[in-house]
Structures are given as structure tokens and as C-alpha cells.
């Protein structure tokens, strides 16, 4: 599967546990929607990712990708310290240029 470069960089940074590299994949005014909450801008995205990584100790394995209009959706197996692990989640990315403008994570 050939992921667009910002998405590939996002998953690679997450896999390495490199929060700073992960945050840099986002545009400065990007947003993330996850678990019913929205996080806007790099400082909030950094705090969201660090909190989730510490709480769930998750590992994400992208499985497939498809395009819907201007959104690239990646279905991934997520394993971690949470009830029901592992689960399959959809990561819906909207890109602007070479950065992530928005990410929504859902079942």
C-alpha cells in the first residue's frame, strides 16, 4: 500500500513513539477529532497524542487505504492497553499540500 507521504510519516512517527515528528506532519492550524473530542493546532495535537500514547500504549498497523472525495481513509488495526484490544479504526486524513490539515479517528 502506497500511503501519501504525510500519512506515511504520521504512522512512522507514531510507530517510533516520536511525538515531535508526528506533530510536524500536521499543518499549524490542523485539527484532530478522536474519542468525541476535537484538538486544534499543534500544541493541542501534541497533548492529545502524548496523552493517548501514555494511556493506551497503542500500536497502529495500517491495513488498507481508500479515497473518498478529498479524504484519504486508512483502516488500521490498533492494539493497546484498552478493553476490546485489538480494534480496527478508520483514520480519515484531509491533506493540504504536504501536511495533514485534519484527522478524524473512528470505529
Task: Report domain extents, the chain.
Answer: 5-106
| 71-79 and 26-34 strand pairing | unpaired
The rounded mean pLDDT for the chain is 97
Percent pLDDT > 90 in the chain is 99
CATH topology (fold) of 5-106: Nuclear Transport Factor 2; Chain: A, (3.10.450)
Q: What distance, in Å, lies between the first and last C-alpha atoms of the chain?
A: 21
pLDDT tens digits for 14-44? 999 999 999 999 999 999 999 999 999 999 9
pLDDT band, very low/low/confident/very high, at 7 (cuts 50, 70, 90): very high
Considering just the CA atoms, what is the radius of gyration of the chain in Å?
A: 13
Find the mean pLDDT for residues 5-13.
98
Amino acid at each position: 500500500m502506497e500511503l501519501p507521504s504525510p500519512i506515511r510519516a504520521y504512522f512512522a512517527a507514531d510507530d517510533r513513539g516520536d511525538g515531535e515528528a508526528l506533530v510536524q506532519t500536521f499543518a499549524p492550524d490542523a485539527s484532530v477529532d478522536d474519542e468525541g473530542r476535537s484538538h486544534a493546532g499543534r500544541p493541542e495535537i501534541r497533548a492529545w497524542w502524548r496523552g493517548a500514547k501514555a494511556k493506551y500504549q497503542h500500536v497502529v498497523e495500517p491495513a488498507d487505504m481508500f479515497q473518498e472525495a478529498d479524504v484519504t481513509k486508512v483502516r488500521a488495526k490498533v492494539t493497546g492497553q484498552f478493553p476490546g484490544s485489538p480494534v480496527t479504526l478508520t483514520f480519515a486524513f484531509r491533506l493540504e499540500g504536504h501536511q495533514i490539515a485534519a484527522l478524524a479517528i473512528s470505529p
